[in-house]
Amino acid sequence: MQIGGSGALIGGGASGLGAATARRLHDGGAHVVIVDRDEEHGTELAGELGERASFVAGDVTDPDAVQAAVDVATGQPVPLRIAVSCAGIGWAGRVVGRRGVHALEPFETVIRVNLIGTFNIMRLAAAVMVANEPTESGERGVCVNTASIAAFDGQIGQIAYSASKGAIVSMTLPAARDLAQYGIRVNTIAPGLFETPMVAALSPEVQQSLGASVPYPSRLGQPEEFAALVEHIATNRFLNGEVIRLDGALRMAPR
């Protein structure tokens, strides 16, 4: 898939991994549409990127909001061929702990944003990709989803987050198989510890400690490194149905 001359939809693209991805694809010549609840930063980023960049305010779990973003993307002079899902939230809580039993509402919320939001972006983007004119190689599109190494190495207190990210891992292969007949690929990135707004909220000492726990390189991942992998997935035609850990060989301890 060529980046230049393609439309790209990025869920959760106003900050963190999504914003880095929007910049990378835009730099590569894509027409980028960002959908995010964060109107301030989303508008700011689209303004920074300028021509070939649009922002649509909306929740990725809202079918109407995502459809509106897809409509903006399909209204561009190039076909929508790339969909990236980066929106996600976390929640700390044990199944049963000192504060009692894990409440159901936050579990449902994490599943809704992380899993259902990802599926919502993928399904609605793929629905228009199937009508694309195939490239010379037969491709019509590519979807890149974001899981986490917590899907494999879930820590104490990560029951909701790990469940949501594990489900994204599990739907990668069936989604790729579902869409293979249309020339649409599906892959997932499972990042480790990255410099994101979630991590930025921690103290510098905690951030340094987290970075030191990574075998090599012993630091937090940079959003630009995530974006570079998105770009590679988009351009590597044989990469399909895969979950790729991007974690510096980190395997999370129980706590």
Outline where DSSP puts E strands in 93-220: 96-97, 100-101, 141-146, 184-191
Residue recorded with tokens 């109107």: 39
Q: Is 161 a catalytic residue?
A: yes
Q: What are phi and psi of 91, to 5 degrees?
A: -155, 135
Is residue 129 within 8 A of residue 182, CB to CB? The reply is yes
φ/ψ region of 199 (left if φ > 0, alpha if ψ in -120 to 50, else beta) reads: alpha
- Which amino acid belongs to residue 239? L
Alpha-carbon torsion (10, 14, 18, 24), positive or negative: positive
Give the H/E segment covering residue 212. Answer: helix 204-212
What's the CA gap between 211 and 125, in Å, rounded? 35
What's the CA gap between 56 and 37, in Å, rounded? 9
163 closest CA partner among 230, 113, 221: 113
Residue of 161, 168, 179, 226 with catalytic role: 161
Here the tokens at position 202 are: 């921690």
Residue recorded with tokens 């880095």: 20
Here the tokens at position 93 are: 């809580």
Report, as residue numbers or ranges, the catalytic residues. Answer: 161
